[in-house]
Structure 1
């Protein structure tokens, strides 16, 4: 019997070879296969950002991408944040913002807490305390846009993860 054969009930069989999909070739190109949906998400993304500080937008997108383990989006948004002048310290500490609160304003902390709650909504919903903290720092229009931003980055994360997008391959 060779090392690739298995003996079961006096029969010798060769195990099936596991074929792993190549994410670059075996997953759909979402933008090409659902262009109307893709454009709608782009429109939602653009509308959500309106009236929000661009630095805050990137922090929220980075945090949600950390939580969702989306390397593609994380790479994209940390790159964008660097280009916009965000400090390396803050970029490295977004993942542990609660332990490094002094690097973030009260407003940013409220947005990050809301990002955590909405992204992990299945754990405990959005606690009143978290929502109230955000509502204390954002007017109703800003809060609506912040919620839309969080919903949008979670959608982008899920698209990227479901279609196996690889970090560093964005075409922007």
Structure 2
């Protein structure tokens, strides 16, 4: 379950929450009867409903990147969003945008190669530039070498690069928030934990490892 409480349909007073619930869940109470058409529980929405104007702001962001006014190729956009989800360790963002790539007709081999794009030969030069830039944004805090940016400018307009940057960073935020709040597929325990030593392990023996013999 997510770390924050969820808003039931009965408690959803704000119109934006009611409209969102109607769109995604029909007449169900998404807390009592969770589930969306993509297979998620839907608790991202019920948690964001805690602050209706934040939910509305997020909804506008979704509408913005899908707008027909966008100049950026949607496949390039989705490659960046999917890679950002993987880079940030958000199973929710990564999984959802794999589905979006599939919906755009992207082949299964290209979807499967997003985690290891650096050694995959299924992407065009332009797609590799976008994936490299997504890594600069998600893994390097925006630190982008000039050759990466020059590769983008070779085929994208300034307007398209701004759209790419904004949308990729928007999904960096969503990935981070989903992990922190443990919503949807990011409701997972951290895999990095101490592995117990054998019962007869002596801590002093560990400290002695590598010590120069007398």
Relative CO higher for 1 or 2, CA cutoff 8 Å, sep ≥ 6?
1
Q: Deviations over 1:62-116 (max 9, x none)?
A: 100110010011111112222332211001111111111x311121111111100
Give 1 or 2: higher helix fraction.
1
Equivalents in 1 of 2:2, 2:174: separation in Å? Answer: 20
Q: Where in structure 2 are the equivalents of 1:151-166 lying within 5 Å?
A: 151-166=169-184
In 1, the alpha carbon distance for the partners of 2:148 and 2:137 equals 10
Determine the structure 1 residue equivalent to 2:96. 76
Matches for 1:1-172 after TM superposition, within 5 Å? 24=1, 26-28=3-5, 29-49=46-66, 50-100=70-120, 102-122=121-141, 125-167=143-185
- Do the aligned partners of 2:85 and 2:94 also contact (CA within 8 Å) in 1? yes
Question: Does structure 2 retain, via aligned residues, the 8 Å contact 1:30–1:159?
Answer: no
Pair 159,26 (structure 1): closer, same or farther in 2 beyond 3 Å? closer
| 1:102-144 CA-partner distances (Å, limit 9, x unpaired) | 311121111111100011134x812222222212221111011
- Alignment TM-score, normalising by the size of structure 2: 0.61
State the TM-score, normalized to the length of structure 1. Answer: 0.74
CA contact (8 A) 1:61 1:153 kept: yes
Q: What residue ranges of structure 1 are gaps of 5+ in the alignment?
A: 1-23
> What's the RMSD between the two structures over aligned residues?
2.2
